Amino acid sequence: MADTGGEQTISSYIQHHLTNATVGEGFWTFHIDTLAWSIVLGFVFILSFRSVAKKATTGVPGKWQASVELIVEFVNDTVKSTYHGKSKLIAPLALTIFVWVLLMNLMDLIPVDFLPWIAGQIGYYGFGVDPHDIYMKVVPTTDVNMTFALSIGVFVLMIYYSVKIKGFGGFMKELYAHPFNTPWLYWFNFILEVVSLLAKPLSLSLRLFGNLYAGELIFILIAGTLGLWQLPIHFLWAAFHLLIIPLQAFIFMMLTIVYLSLASEEH
């Protein structure tokens, strides 16, 4: 929380909360808080859904099993109505993206000082490190490196399916012979299509990052200006933010399915 003793200004408080815990230098700088939280949340998804799958019954399901079945059916119906190719990978991929991104986004609802304070206490009493020197960003999707990593994975699959379905020649022909199938405009087509192709993962990553980063920044501003009195306003903003969190996970999943469907179509 903001230091009422005047040692920490609002700007330094905000800057501290927006700084990742890092190791390494230059290109090989790793944001260990982003990596740690994303991996932990990934295991939460895998283990919880696996547990439901192993214990699933044909009778009246429990609340958690019913919730998981609802999510799986929702994603499955979305894939069936959107993806027009044939691949056993798309439905599990869409489910993984939706639930994983949703869990990472949900970390935004935890009061911004809670987990960083715990990390600071562990660092101070366990390793003798000043809490002000310990950084902890707990929302992985507010880190543009994380959203770019997700979108790059989707981009690689787009290229893979394009080449697999159309062949390398067919994929290249899409780039240079569309939209104007005229030899003297091939160079113009190629520029347009390459820009369009690269814009897909770029927009995919920046849309998720921008929405979550803006929401997190407002939470930090509330905490920094109100201190201990932040919780009522925090929960009011969190109630509104509940609309953004699943919506952004759904949009990321939906665009992934659409991009892979386009890549899988034969022209």
Asked if residue 240 belongs to a domain, the reply is: yes
Asked if residue 252 belongs to a domain, the reply is: yes
Query: Which candidate, 34, 71, 28, places its Cα nearest to that of 53?
Result: 71
Q: Work out the end-to-end distance of the chain between its first and last CA atoms, rounded to an integer number of angstroms.
A: 57
Asked if residue 185 belongs to a domain, the reply is: yes
Reading the chain (267 residues) residue by residue, the pLDDT tens digits are 444 344 568 888 889 889 999 998 888 899 999 999 999 999 999 999 999 988 877 777 788 889 999 999 999 999 999 998 888 899 999 999 999 999 999 999 988 888 998 999 998 898 888 888 899 999 999 999 999 999 999 999 999 999 998 889 888 888 888 778 888 888 898 999 999 999 999 999 999 999 999 999 988 888 888 766 777 787 888 888 888 999 999 999 999 999 999 988 876
pTM of the model: 0.90
In whole angstroms, what is the distance from residue 105 CA to residue 141 CA?
6
DSSP 34: H
Asked if residue 81 belongs to a domain, the reply is: yes
> What is the pLDDT at residue 267?
61
DSSP 30: E
Asked if residue 208 belongs to a domain, the reply is: yes
Q: Is 223 exposed, middle or buried, given 0-12, 13-18 or 19+ CB atoms closer than 10 A?
A: buried
> What is the pLDDT at residue 3?
44
Token pair for 34: 């982003």
Residue numbers of the domain that contains 62: 10-264
Asked if residue 4 belongs to a domain, the reply is: no
Domain count, the chain: 1
**Annotated catalytic sites, by residue?**
203, 207, 211
Asked if residue 189 belongs to a domain, the reply is: yes
In whole angstroms, what is the distance from residue 179 CA to residue 114 CA?
53
Asked if residue 5 belongs to a domain, the reply is: no
